[in-house]
Amino acid sequence: MKRTAPYLVLAALVLLPLMQYSPVLRLGSDWMHVIIMAIMWTVTGMAWNLLGGYCGQVSFGHAAFFGMGSYCAALMTFHFQASPWWGFLVSIPATAAIAMIMGFLVLRLRGPYFVLATLAIGEVMRITFENLVDLTNGTKGITIVRDWVDKTPYYCIILGLAVGTYLLIKRMIGSKWGYYFVAVREDQDAAESLGIDTTRYKTIALVVSAILTGLAGAFYTVYMGYIDPQVVFSLGDISILIIMVVMVGGVATFWGPAVGAVIMIALSEYIRTIPYLGTAYQTFFGILLIVIIIYLPNGLVGDYRKLAKLFTRKTPGAA
């Protein structure tokens, strides 16, 4: 069951777009939008989880990488009249460079100091992009022409990115790197004295996490067709939403980000449709986060396992 679960999920996701054309239970393009967003947030959640969940370096500034990726795509069109799809390629060295500079500056900090520094860097990026008007068109933002009206191609691309991210992270976590990341999270001094170059492995986690987040950002541009610094460098809607996705789903679990993304995106789309209360959707997120931290500190996926174990242990006694 456990081994086949990923394939079942994948098969369902591959077949999902066909639902748009099915006569019964017809899937509208609004639903496709929600699903695409959920998968995009899964990618960013998995990326954040690598650094924050496994390596223990909690970042409140992932919007820096998301926005950087977004702008890479947008600026290809804005300045060079090239296809925004080149942004995917350009975003890799660009976000990696930002991550390395950021790592050099803040990875020597530990605990809350690191968190605050990442928060500051995310905001610095937003303000910089707002003010470099010649380069970024400032707060007016950039509009690009979307390639397709149909949502299916976008769906396929983001699904491919999500599967790639999942496989990459799974591979990393199962190898020496994964153990080193967790060792750094659990005790940096012990990790150092066991021969682990903690600075190096923290940098690796940061750079990989940044690149994946940047790719999701580039996707956001080509999919949405419009970005401005307040959207893609947003503290609340990007940096903190990424953390929410992982916290709700389960920190340091493979499936946590996916579960968290589906719940958070579905919830936010639903709450926004409630009259009067809709604009206060972030309040609901806050309440949800408090409930999760108190009752399911390891997230839905993390604590589901605990519940399952409890259940299987009780069964023989009852029988």
Partner 1 sequence: MAILEVRDVSMFFGGLAALSKVTFDVEKGEILALIGPNGAGKTTLFNCVNGFYKPSIGRVEFKGETVSGLKPHQICARGMGRTFQVVKPLQRMNVFDNVLASAFLRNPARAKAEKVVEEVLLFTGLWEDREIISKGLPLGKRKRLEIARALATQPELLLLDESFAGLNPAELDVSIEIIKSIKKMGITIMIIEHHMKVIMSISDRIVVLNYGQKIAEGTPAQIGHNPQVVEAYLGEAADA
Q: Does 258 bind partner 1 (CB under 8 A)?
A: no
Q: Which of 136, 137, 165, 198 binds partner 1 (CB under 8 A)?
A: 198
Tokens 């890479």 appear where?
72
Q: Does 233 bind partner 1 (CB under 8 A)?
A: no
Q: Does 192 bind partner 1 (CB under 8 A)?
A: yes
Q: What is the CA radius of gyration of the chain?
A: 20
Residues 119-178 that bind partner 1 (CB under 8 A): 174-176
Question: Residues in contact with partner 1, total (CB under 8 A)?
Answer: 19
Q: Does 275 bind partner 1 (CB under 8 A)?
A: no
| Residue among 112 and 195 whose Cβ is closer to partner 1 | 195
- The answer to whether 76 and 90 have CB atoms below 8 angstroms apart is yes
Q: Does 180 bind partner 1 (CB under 8 A)?
A: yes
Q: Does 115 bind partner 1 (CB under 8 A)?
A: no
Helix (H) or strand (E) holding 227: strand 226-227
Q: Does 195 bind partner 1 (CB under 8 A)?
A: yes
Q: Does 78 bind partner 1 (CB under 8 A)?
A: no
Nearest distance, CB of residue 174 and partner 1, angstroms: 8
- The answer to whether 76 and 220 have CB atoms below 8 angstroms apart is no
| Residue among 167 and 274 whose Cβ is closer to partner 1 | 167
Q: 142-143 and 226-227 as β-strands: parallel, antiparallel, unpaired?
A: antiparallel
Residues 6+ apart with CB under 8 A from 97: none
Q: Does 57 bind partner 1 (CB under 8 A)?
A: no
* Phi, psi of 142, rounded to the nearest 5 degrees: -130, 135
Helix (H) or strand (E) holding 278: none
